[in-house]
Structure 1
Amino acid sequence: MIDVLPPSWELLDADTDGAAPALLAVRHADNGSQVFVRAGRRSACIATFADETVRGGTLRHRRGRAFVVVEDAKGGQRVVRAVRDDRGWWRSDGDLPLPGGAVLDLDIDAGILLAVASTNAGAVDVFRFDAYGANRTEVYRGGGWIFNGSLSPDGTNAALLRVADGKLDTELVVCAVGSPEAPLELIAHAAPAAMGVPCWSPDGGTLLICTNVDREFARIVSVDVQTGIWKELWAAEHDMDVRLANDTPLLWHNVEGQSRITRPDLDGAAYRLPEQGVVRTPRRPVIDREGRLYCTFSSPRSPAAVWRLSTDAPPELLTPERHAEELGKPWRSTVVAPDLVRVPALVWPGKPHGGAAVVILHGGPEEQWRWDHYPLISALRRLGVTVVTPDLRGSVGFGKRYYGLDDGVRHVDAQLDLDAVHGSLARLGLDPANAALVGYSFGGYQALLGLTSGGSAWSAAVVVSGVSDPLSYLAATSPHRRPHRELTYGSLAHDREFLQRVSPACNAAAVRVPLLLVHGELDPIVPVGQANRMAELVRAAGGDVQLKIMRGEGHQFRRASSQAALISWVTEFLQTSGGGAR
């Protein structure tokens, strides 16, 4: 195994009330994730997690309180607390297990907003606790799947996002804490529309939220909580999101996969970034008295680190290390599918440049390739491989129409995009005969479709956490989630014949190139049986298949050591199988 993962940092929260800013940040490295409180020149590690993912945190440094949310491989969460004693030393203050629950929002003052699976099958109830898990108060009992939300600054109201009937279709409801059966729906809409995290004004009377209601791209609107009246504030020909830092709105722009952050109160002045890249969107951003923004930034050549950004001064690195790779920037390309759909892609040139290519498909499918740091892509580029990352139809970031092109049984149309990508490799100076295919999650399913749908032009393939048989996958999905999965794959009731016809598992004998399947042992999203069964069927048909089970991991591999193992497995497989990395 090779060590290919440099350390990275992520900002959880910042407290700028004192003489020097205090940071709550997590360092990810091979030995796990360590959470630090950094204030001035002092730094204290308050917790270390080897087998859990850090999901968020909040800090009140002057009061000596820090809370961190962590999640295990099966999705179980807990809140870990730390306090600072009179000598200035940080120590553990116990933890709060949350069996069956997921933290929607966490604030030391407002409390914990927790979604819990209801006794009513297919529904979620929401509760508010104080920061130590006491004084449980019911917030919502309206049925449906609540997947996000936020507490008002005084903790008396909650704005919740509920999954609706269409793809990426979201409903916004507001509830008074203690009145669970009287939710108020806001921004009612007939056509499916997505919404982002609702942001409360300091007085609790207004919500700011991003939504693509009646628009191709997400815009920012304000909603009066009492009257329900909403109006547009800002819009552009790209997706944007909004956050409030105290009472200052900050706009997060997604411009062709790159971040741009602007201040509407300063005539749209933009924060200066270290280079082209991505600024993570925090739940509660922090700006200091000088208007400087504390954030997590990453780029194609640099893992995530914590920065302080200004609109009129160079950015400042706040974490003690930053690893920068001597790799060139990716560049944009567009491929035209046979049905004239224009498919955007990023091309990541290898160093030294060779003719080998690897095409990588993201999951979702409602995701997007960003100008971010991807360790597998960097490892392949260092081997001289050029990586192509297309956003097949169904991806977000390119408008509502584009992400709706693969709904239901139409998801197979993305194979037109994939064939067009392979057909464009020669134009990019790459060797189509030395091109491998890699797919994550839903992208893994699309990769298997590409291998089994009538002959494959790829030299090898890798599937990570992918579905191999949509029929058995949908049948095993819980009833309240199944309708939403069917929006992606097709209906068990109406499309069974189609699903069986296209199922990679039912066509495993068509796999004629070396195949590597990698899956998490504890995957709660796509059960590991999907990989086991596909491996058995390909092997029985005489195919060349390898199966790697990542022990102790779920759908996404949390440990840095697991991510390093994945990269080793993939690069070694491609080098020895004659696919892509020769």
Structure 2
Amino acid sequence: MPPDPQRAVRQLLQLPLWTAFDIDGEGRVLAGSDEPGSMQLVELAPDGSRTQLTDLPSPCSGRYVPGRRLVVVQHDQGGDEKHQLSLLDLGEPLGRPATPDDLTPLVADPAHMNPLLDVTATAVVYSTNRRNEVDMDVVVRDLATGDESVVYDEGGYVVGSHVSHDLTRVATTRLTLLPNSTAVSVSGPDGTRDVTDVGEHAWHESLGFTDDDTGVVLASNHDRDHCALVQVTDGAWTTLVEDGDHDVAGWLSPDGRSIAAATRVDGVDKLGIHEADGRLRCRVDVPEDGVVGVVWAADGGRLVVVTSRPTDPGSLHCVDAATGEAMLLVDAREALPADLRDVLSSPRVLRCPTPDGEQVPCFVYPPHPDADPALAGASVVVVHGGPESTAPRSFGPMTQAMCAAGLTVLVPNVRGSTGFGKRWYSLDDVELRLDSVADLAALHAWLPTLGLDQERSVLWGGSYGGYMVLAGLTMQPGLWAAGVDVVGISSLVTFLENTSDYRRAVREREYGTLADHRDFLVAASPITHLDAMRAPLFVIHGANDPRVPLSEAEQIKAALDVKGIECVLKVYGDEGHGLARRPNRLDAYTSALTWVVRQVARD
């Protein structure tokens, strides 16, 4: 018997999702779980017991202070992404989850962003845009005195930072003004020096310092198409781990003596532990049909690996770094209802041909075999956000809910997606934007080869994926039966004019600038082509979204109302860029799936 679609979507959306943030010296794991309704801190003890640490109004994350029963908590207000930092003392247990009143403010500046970057035994490292609202400075704050020192203020959007073992230098990764490119610099007593070329079109990510602090370990596609793990010492580049056909991601142990490296192949990760010089030490005994995240213990002796697969919402494993042997800490599949556990859909990996000779990687999830025959042949194309992002083969509750209802789900990595090399992710930069939109038409033309009905296919996407939904509906009228837009962009011009100041330069490097590319931005905006749109639309948006303002949803809704085209708009007042709270997800996505089924079901 097939699962009831409405019951299935509720069950899938209520599954607790897990992640890991840190490990302390006693083997306790600082994890995150959204079982309370949004992502909150949970401590996993070595004996397997679990203690919920926080009950905050918004999702949070955190890090242990090494050697102390103290947690640095990162939290915002209502999804506004203006992260604040507070301390939670675990030395005197409360006997209940901590509320905001139980936290000691550490960095309290609610008008600005203050994301946590690193924690040492004596200090926290964070970035902030308080200087001019745009550029991110890197600040070291002494935990004992509260004294702060700015160690990096060279401009740009900071995405990561690591402290050297001797505590004298900080390696900072920042975005540059070139599409999907970053630069790494090291700041110390002698000032700041660039490790990479700020003018290079390449992705570099600092993983930390070598064990002797003489070099920096990076994930980088410098002078290559795919990312490899490299060491840069005094300007000399040494390759540590590479795969000529695939990207390699990495996590350097805090002592600088071990590297966890994941080779990313068609949306899944193959994980191994390597010596500091790149030699393979051992494979890691975790499932290889999904994606992983890694958190190292301070001594480098163990790591926590988070695995997410199409059939696994995200399990946690404690791994011995010497042998690769894994012990299951959290089995997320235990929360799956028995009638769903064995019927979750696993995708085929296919390539969709395009008229210009490209091949779009696509994961095709089949529907439940006994689902409603009225939905046989109907499909949903789910487009990821970004655009410089990827759709991995991981657990997606709505993907599984759609399959349970009887829909075939296609998850493409259209041109511009990461994970398939620099050439592929560069094929949608600025004036090439509409080539990515054209991939949607190629996917639509490909549907009959999969036995799918072209007249009953729906577009679904969030953020940039929402832009793609709106672009497909307006620029390819007549192809798509309907669309679901989650926090999407309806006009590239008004989006860039109204997004947060700190994001504008970051987004302009990908889409084009208002000063130099306005005519193109107008031409590439869905709202410009609204007169051609005929398909109905379902829109979901957070009122506090600092990235894509609510006005992007409101203007498309108002325009479609004037045209008399069905447009449902659901706005959530306590959400930002996406839906972080389970009650809101249940309301929005249950309604959206019911609406999609109504659009494509045969009479």
Residue matched to 2:138: 126
Residue matched to 2:318: 308
1:506 offset after TM fit, Å?
A: 2.6
1:171 offset after TM fit, Å?
A: 1.4
* Matches of 2:91 and 2:302, distance apart in 1: 30
Residue matched to 1:277: 290
Residue matched to 1:223: 232
* Matches of 2:155 and 2:303, distance apart in 1: 38
* Matches of 1:552 and 1:107, distance apart in 2: 30
1:48 offset after TM fit, Å?
A: 2.5
- Where does structure 1 lack aligned partners over 5 or more consecutive residues? none
1:393 offset after TM fit, Å?
A: 0.6
CA 1:580–1:522 in 2, change beyond 3 Å: closer, same or farther? farther
1:581 offset after TM fit, Å?
A: 9.6
Residue matched to 1:437: 459
* Matches of 1:250 and 1:278, distance apart in 2: 13
Name the aligned partner's letter for residue 314 of structure 2. Answer: A
Between the aligned residues of both structures, percent identity stands at: 27
1:287 offset after TM fit, Å?
A: 8.4
1:402 offset after TM fit, Å?
A: 0.7
The reply on whether 1:257 has 2:267 as its aligned counterpart is yes
1:479 offset after TM fit, Å?
A: 6.0
The reply on whether 1:13 has 2:30 as its aligned counterpart is no
Counterpart of 1:411 (choices 424, 427, 433) is: 433
Residue matched to 2:530: 508
CA 1:11–1:331 in 2, change beyond 3 Å: closer, same or farther? same
Q: Check whether the contact 1:51–1:558 (CA below 8 A) recurs between aligned residues.
A: no
Name the aligned partner's letter for residue 365 of structure 1. Answer: P
CA 1:187–1:165 in 2, change beyond 3 Å: closer, same or farther? same
* Matches of 1:101 and 1:486, distance apart in 2: 20
1:140 offset after TM fit, Å?
A: 1.6
* Matches of 2:92 and 2:481, distance apart in 1: 63
Counterpart of 1:48 (choices 54, 65, 77) is: 54
More displaced stretch, 130-139 vs 449-458? 130-139
CA 1:138–1:570 in 2, change beyond 3 Å: closer, same or farther? same
More displaced stretch, 520-529 vs 322-331? 322-331
The alignment's TM-score, normalised by the length of structure 1, stands at 0.91
Counterpart of 1:32 (choices 30, 35, 38) is: 38
Aligned to 2:377, what secondary structure does the other structure show? coil
1:146 offset after TM fit, Å?
A: 2.4
Counterpart of 1:186 (choices 190, 195, 217) is: 195
* Matches of 1:135 and 1:287, distance apart in 2: 25
Q: Check whether the contact 1:196–1:241 (CA below 8 A) recurs between aligned residues.
A: no
Residue matched to 1:242: 250
Count of residues in correspondence between the two structures: 569
Counterpart of 1:63 (choices 44, 62, 68) is: 68
Residue matched to 2:170: 158
More displaced stretch, 317-326 vs 339-348? 317-326
CA 1:272–1:122 in 2, change beyond 3 Å: closer, same or farther? same
Residue matched to 2:223: 214
Residue matched to 2:330: 319
Residue matched to 2:347: 330
1:175-211 per-position Cα deviation (integer Å, ceiling 9, x unaligned): 116x6xx211112265311112331234332211111
Counterpart of 2:297 (choices 278, 283, 286) is: 286
1:219 offset after TM fit, Å?
A: 1.1
Residue matched to 2:157: 145
The reply on whether 1:135 has 2:156 as its aligned counterpart is no
Residue matched to 2:3: none
Residue matched to 1:448: 470
* Matches of 1:210 and 1:11, distance apart in 2: 21
Q: Check whether the contact 2:499–2:549 (CA below 8 A) recurs between aligned residues.
A: no
CA 1:287–1:379 in 2, change beyond 3 Å: closer, same or farther? farther
Residue matched to 2:82: 76
Q: Check whether the contact 2:294–2:303 (CA below 8 A) recurs between aligned residues.
A: no
Q: Check whether the contact 2:433–2:524 (CA below 8 A) recurs between aligned residues.
A: no
The alignment's TM-score, normalised by the length of structure 2, stands at 0.88
Q: Return the structure number with greater helix share.
A: 2
Counterpart of 1:345 (choices 335, 358, 362) is: 362
Aligned-pair RMSD on alpha carbons? 2.7
CA 1:140–1:421 in 2, change beyond 3 Å: closer, same or farther? same
* Matches of 1:581 and 1:555, distance apart in 2: 34
1:421 offset after TM fit, Å?
A: 0.6
Q: Check whether the contact 2:40–2:61 (CA below 8 A) recurs between aligned residues.
A: no
Counterpart of 1:562 (choices 581, 584, 598) is: 584
Q: Check whether the contact 1:302–1:323 (CA below 8 A) recurs between aligned residues.
A: no
Residue matched to 2:240: 233
* Matches of 1:239 and 1:428, distance apart in 2: 29
The reply on whether 1:94 has 2:117 as its aligned counterpart is no
* Matches of 2:281 and 2:324, distance apart in 1: 16
Aligned to 2:480, what secondary structure does the other structure show? coil
